[in-house]
Structure 1
Amino acid sequence: MTDLSHAPDDCAATYPQVIERPWSTPLLDCLSAEDRRLFQQFGQGSSQAVPYSHIHRAFERWVAATPCAVAAEHLGETITYGELDRQANRLAALLVRHGVRPGDNVGLFVRRGIPMVAGLLAALKAGAAYVPQDVGIAPEALLRQVIDTAGTRVILTLSDVSDRIPATGGQVCVPIDTVMGRALGGPDRFEAEGVVDPDGGCYVLFTSGTTGRPNGVTVTHRNVCNILLTEPGDLGMRPGLRVGQILNIGFDMAAWEILGALSHGATLVIRGKDIAETVENVDVVIATATILASVDPGRCRVRVAAVAGEPCPRALADRWAGVGTFYNACGPTETTIVNTMQRHDRAAIRLTIGRPTPNNTVYVLDENRRPCAIGETGEMWAGGDCVSAGYLRDPELTSERYAPDPFLGGRRMMFRTRDLGRWTPDGELEHLGRTDDQVKIRGFRVELDSVSAVLESMPGCTRAVTLKLDDRTLVSFVAPAHLDQEAARRAVADALPYYCVPAVVHPMVTLPMTSRGKIDKDALLRMAVAEVAS
C-alpha cells in the first residue's frame, strides 16, 4: 500500500496531476459522441499522489524506520537496510571524488549479488543515472557501445570482472566489493552536490532496438516513482515480504524487482543459478511468461505474481491466478517498465493487459494518429508520467517514436509503442501483437501472435511461438515435446484462415530463452532455416 505519511519534503506536490483535466482536441471530432466519451474514460489512468520524487528517498525512509530489517539476501549472505545505506553512502562519496555530478551516467557492470544493489543505490545517491549491464553475459562490443553512448566516465564493477571492461578512453573502474570489504568508514549520510532533478535520469536501459544497434533509453526518477510508488505497480510490497530478484540487471523489469522491494521495506531475494528455487521461496515474483511457465505454482508461496515483456498465455494466467494475485502487464522500456496492468480473474471472459496505470494515458490511434472507435484495432500510444526522456544521442529516433501529446497538451509527450490493441466494451485493452509481428504470407496479412495464441489454447500446450520463414511459409514451435504436430496444425486450421496454418509445428521440451527471459526467436529461426537447408 502506498504510504504518504513520511514524505513531507519530497512529496507529490511536484507532480502535475494530468489525468483530471478533460481532453480538448479537434482529433476527437472524428468519433461519435459516445466513442468520444469512452475514448477519454477508458484512456485515462487514475490520478494518484506520488509520495516521493526520487526513488532512493523511498529507500531511505525504510533505512530510518527499520534499519535492522534485512534489505537483501544472496546465497546465504544478507545485508540490513542500515548497512546497505552505509555502504551505498561510502560508494556515493567515492563516485563524487571521481568527479560524478548530478545528471551524469554511471556504469553498473556487475554480476548478480549484494554489491550490485549497493552500487545501484550509490549512483542514485550521487545524483547520477545508473547504466546496468550483466558483465558475465554482455559481449565486449556491447559494453563498448554502452560506454560510448552513455558517456560513462566512471564504472562500478567487481574486482574479479574488471578486466572484462573495455578500455575506451580514461574510464575509472571502481570495484564495489573491494570498497565494501574495507573497514567501515566514510559518511553515515550522504547528499549529492547540487540539485537532483526529478526529470533527470534514474537509469539508462539499452534495448535491442530496430536500427541494428542498441538504443539507450533514459528513464527518469519521476517515471520510476510513478509506477513503483502507486497501486497496482507497487504489487503490495511491504516490510516482511520477500521479493524475488531473478531477472537480468540489464532488463528494465529488474528495476521493478530491486527498486520496488527497497522502496517498500521488503527483502530482496537475489537468485543463484536456480530460478525455480528462488521463486518457490518468495512472496512476490516479477517475470516474463516464459520464465514463469517453467515454475510449478503449486510448489510456491507466492502471493503476487506479475508478468510483462511478452504475450502471456491464458492458461498460464489462469494457473497462477489460482494460487494468488496475478497481474498481466504491458509496456516497453520507453514507457517505464509497464504502463498498463490487469489483475486477472480466472472467471473473466478474456485475458487483457488491463487499463492505464496511475497518472498515465493510453490512446488507440490509426495510422494517421487519429483516435480509433471503441473496439477498432489500432496502434497504442502512451502518455502521462510514464513517458521517458528519449534516446541518448539519437534525436532522429526520438522524434520518430516520441511526439507531442495532442490530448494532454502543454509540453506533454506521448510514445509510439508499436503494439496493436483495441478497447473492450468494458474498458480494458486487448493486446493484438506488434506492428512488426504483422507479416505478409501469400499476399495476406498475418498476425503471428494470433497463430501462437491458438496453439497455446490447446490442452497441454504451455508456450508457442510462430515465425515467418519466407513469403509463403510460417513455422511454429510449441512446448512441451509430447504435443501432436498434426493436431496443432488442425487447431490453427479450425480457427484461422488457411494461410495462417504453419507448414511445420516443432514440439520442444522447452523453448530457448534470451538473457532477459523472453523466447529467443532468433535462435528458433536459425533452427528452422537449418532444418530446411539440411
Structure 2
Amino acid sequence: MHQQLIERTSTAWSTPLLDHLSGHDRRRFQLFGQGPVAAVPDTHIHHAFERHAAIRPDATAAEHHDETITYGELNRQANRLAAQLARHGVHPGDNVAVFVRRGIPMLVGILGVLKAGAAYVPQDAGLAPSAHLRHVIGAAATRVILTTSNVADRIPVPTGHHLIAIDTLMTQPLGPSDDRFRPQRPGDAGENCYILFTSGTTGRANGVAVTHRNVCNILLTAPGDLGIRPGWRVGQVLNVAFDMAAWEILGCLSHGATLVIRGQDIAETAQHVDVIIATPTILSALDPKRCGSVKVVAVAGEPCPRPLADRWARRCTFYNACGPTETTIVNTMHRHHPNAARLTIGRPTPNNTVYILDQTGHPCPIGATGEMWAGGDCVSAGYLDNPALNAERYVPDPFLGGGGVMFRTRDLGRWTPDGQLEHLGRTDDQVKIRGFRVELDSVSAILESVPGCRRAVTLKLDDRSLVSFVAPNQVDPEMARQAVASALPYYCVPTAVHPLAALPETSRGKVDKAALRHIALANRATNGLERTA
C-alpha cells in the first residue's frame, strides 16, 4: 500500500468518477485527500516493545497503584505466557480472549498473545455481561481465555476451552527457558493484532479484525505517535475493549514510555502524566489547571466541543482526531490552536486517504458536504463472519486501485478551502423534524457555546420535536434554547433543554444516548408534554 501511495504522489488519480469535477477541484481532491507517505519501522507492534526491552530493561514499563514492572520483566512474563499459550495449542493466526480488569496482568496478557503470533480479543471482565462474553468467545472462535483470579468466576468457559489466570502464572518463578523463549512468528505482515467488538445497528456486536500493519501505521508514525518517548508517562484511563485503549497501551509501550494505569480516580491519574488520550466526555470532566505536567492531549470517539479544545490547546499540544474502529483508532488528526478560525479533524494520517463522496459514490466538489470514505493502510481486515456487512462497508478503492479497499465511515464531512476536514456528524444523526433536515450535532455545538456549558447532546424524540441535555446543571435552559433560536431555524430549537450535573457515560467513555433517551421519555410520561425546564 505504501508503494501505491508513493506512485500516486506525482500522478493525478485517474478515474471516470472525477470527470464531473472542475480541474481545480480534481487537483484538490487528490491533494487534500492523500496523507503523507511515511516509512513504518516495524511490521509487528510488539517488535517495537521488544526493542525497548532489550535496550532499557530496567526502565519502568507500567505502574498501577503501588505496583510497577520494568520493560525487562514485562518482556520475560509475556514470553512465558506466549510459551504457555503455545502449549495449549495456540498457533499464529488464532484469536485469544483477554477478559481482564485494568492492571499490569492485562499488559502481560496482551503482549503474550501478540508474541504467540495470535490476535488478542479484549473485554473488561468487570463490566461486560456474561451473555456478551459468551458471544465474543463464540464469534472470535477463541479456545483459550486469559483472565485474572479476581474475576475468573465471572467468565463463562465453554466446554473444551482453557482458562488461564495471568496473575497466578506471574507469581510462579521464572525458569531459564522462559527468558529465552521466542515464539514462532508468521511472516505475513498483514496478520491480525486485535479483534474489537463494536455495537452493531441490529444490536449484534460485530468483531472487527485489525492487523499489525494497521496498528503500526498509526502508532509508529507522526502525528499518531504523539511524540511519546522514553521518560514520558502515558495515562491508561480507557476501557480495554475500546480501540482507543490500544492507542494508550501499545502507543506507550512501543515508544519506551511508562504506562500509568488508573485506579478509580481518572483525575488523579491525569495530574501525573505527560499524555492523555480520551474521549471529549472524559476530558470534559478534567481540569487542565490541575494537570500541569500534561504535554499532549488527543481526543476522538465523539465530536469535540470547541471550548473544550481551546481550553486544553492553551496549555499543551492538543490533537482533535476522528476514525471508527474499522479504520484503526483514528485516520485523521489535527493539532488545534485556540486562535484558529475553526476546529477541524485535520487531514489523513500517513499512508492513508479520505474521500468525500455523494450518495452515488462520486466525489463531492470541495466545500460540499458528503460522506467520508477512508482508504490506505488504516483500513482493517473486516468484520468476522459477516459477509453482507463487509460487502456494504468495505469496497474496492477506485482512486488508489491496485487491489486497495476503502471503508464507508458513515461520518459526514466537507473540505475547507485550505484542505482541512470538518466533521459534520453521522449520517444517522441527520434527522427529519417537521419535514426539515436537522443535523443534531449542529444543535449541540450551539448549546456548547453557551457560557458555562461543558457538554451538550441533542436527540430526536419524535417527528416534531428535539430534546437536548446540557452539563453541568447550572446551565440556564432558557438561555440555551434562545442561543439555538438565534443561530438556527425554528425547527432546530429543542422543545426542552434538561440540565444535568454530568451526562451519563457508556463503559467506553462516550455519552450514553440510550440513557438520555430514557430520561427524556420518562420526563414526557411524567409531565404529559415536553416543556422547557
Question: What's the TM-score, normalizing by structure 2?
Answer: 0.97
Distance 1:66 1:274 in 2: 30
Report 1:253-268 matches (<5 A). 253-268=244-259
Residue 182 of structure 1 aligns with an amino acid whose one-letter code is Q
Distance 1:89 1:17 in 2: 36
* 1:184 counterpart residue number: 174
Distance 1:39 1:144 in 2: 45
Report 1:36-435 matches (<5 A). 36-185=26-175, 186-193=177-184, 195-300=186-291, 301-435=293-427
CA contact (8 A) 1:127 1:196 kept: no
CA contact (8 A) 2:231 2:257 kept: yes
SS in structure 1 at match of 2:180: coil
Q: Shift of the alpha carbon at 1:222? A: 0.1
- In the alignment, is residue 471 of structure 1 matched against residue 463 of structure 2? yes
Percent identity between the two aligned chains = 72
* 1:482 counterpart residue number: 474
* 1:18 counterpart residue number: 5
* 1:444 counterpart residue number: 436
Residue 85 of structure 2 aligns with an amino acid whose one-letter code is L
Query: Is the alpha carbon distance of 1:336 and 1:19 closer, same or farther for their aligned partners in structure 2, counting shifts above 3 Å?
Result: farther
Quote the RMSD (CA, aligned, Å). 1.0
* 1:503 counterpart residue number: 495
Q: Shift of the alpha carbon at 1:209? A: 1.5
> Deviation string for 1:439-480 (max 9, x for gaps)?
111111111000000000111110000001111110000011
Distance 1:264 1:357 in 2: 18
CA contact (8 A) 2:2 2:37 kept: no
Query: Is the alpha carbon distance of 1:41 and 1:302 closer, same or farther for their aligned partners in structure 2, counting shifts above 3 Å?
Result: same
Distance 1:145 1:467 in 2: 30
Distance 1:334 1:484 in 2: 39
Residue 375 of structure 2 aligns with an amino acid whose one-letter code is G
CA contact (8 A) 1:461 1:483 kept: yes
Q: Shift of the alpha carbon at 1:161? A: 1.4
Query: Is the alpha carbon distance of 1:118 and 1:289 closer, same or farther for their aligned partners in structure 2, counting shifts above 3 Å?
Result: same
Residue 457 of structure 2 aligns with an amino acid whose one-letter code is V
CA contact (8 A) 1:512 1:520 kept: yes
Higher alpha-carbon deviation: 335-344 or 438-447: 438-447
> Deviation string for 1:363-402 (max 9, x for gaps)?
0000001000000000000000000000001111111111
Query: Is the alpha carbon distance of 1:169 and 1:411 closer, same or farther for their aligned partners in structure 2, counting shifts above 3 Å?
Result: farther
Residue 159 of structure 2 aligns with an amino acid whose one-letter code is G
Query: Is the alpha carbon distance of 1:58 and 1:158 closer, same or farther for their aligned partners in structure 2, counting shifts above 3 Å?
Result: same
Distance 1:256 1:189 in 2: 29
CA contact (8 A) 2:431 2:437 kept: yes
SS in structure 2 at match of 1:18: helix
> Deviation string for 1:388-441 (max 9, x for gaps)?
000001111111111000000011000000000000000000000000111111
Residue 288 of structure 1 aligns with an amino acid whose one-letter code is T
Distance 1:509 1:143 in 2: 32
Distance 2:195 2:420 in 1: 30
Distance 1:292 1:19 in 2: 37
> Deviation string for 1:299-319 (max 9, x for gaps)?
111000000000000000000
Higher alpha-carbon deviation: 280-289 or 177-186: 177-186
Question: Aligned pairs, how many?
Answer: 521
SS in structure 1 at match of 2:178: coil
SS in structure 1 at match of 2:179: coil
SS in structure 2 at match of 1:93: helix
CA contact (8 A) 1:17 1:47 kept: no
**Residue segments in structure 1 that go unaligned for 5+ positions in a row:** 1-13
SS in structure 2 at match of 1:250: coil
Residue 331 of structure 2 aligns with an amino acid whose one-letter code is N
Residue 470 of structure 1 aligns with an amino acid whose one-letter code is D
Q: Shift of the alpha carbon at 1:198? A: 1.7
Query: Is the alpha carbon distance of 1:490 and 1:436 closer, same or farther for their aligned partners in structure 2, counting shifts above 3 Å?
Result: same
CA contact (8 A) 1:286 1:305 kept: yes
Q: Shift of the alpha carbon at 1:16? A: 3.5
Residue 18 of structure 1 aligns with an amino acid whose one-letter code is L
> Deviation string for 1:473-527 (max 9, x for gaps)?
1000001111111111110011111111000000111111111000111000000
After TM superposition, the runs of 4+ consecutive aligned structure 1 residues lying more than 3 A away are 14-17
Question: What's the TM-score, normalizing by structure 1?
Answer: 0.96
Q: Shift of the alpha carbon at 1:170? A: 1.4
* 1:6 counterpart residue number: none
Q: Shift of the alpha carbon at 1:192? A: 2.8
SS in structure 2 at match of 1:315: helix
Q: Shift of the alpha carbon at 1:211? A: 2.2
SS in structure 1 at match of 2:240: coil
> Deviation string for 1:11-46 (max 9, x for gaps)?
xxx954525413211111110000000000000000
Distance 1:226 1:486 in 2: 47
CA contact (8 A) 1:19 1:44 kept: no
Q: Shift of the alpha carbon at 1:167? A: 2.7
Residue 348 of structure 1 aligns with an amino acid whose one-letter code is A
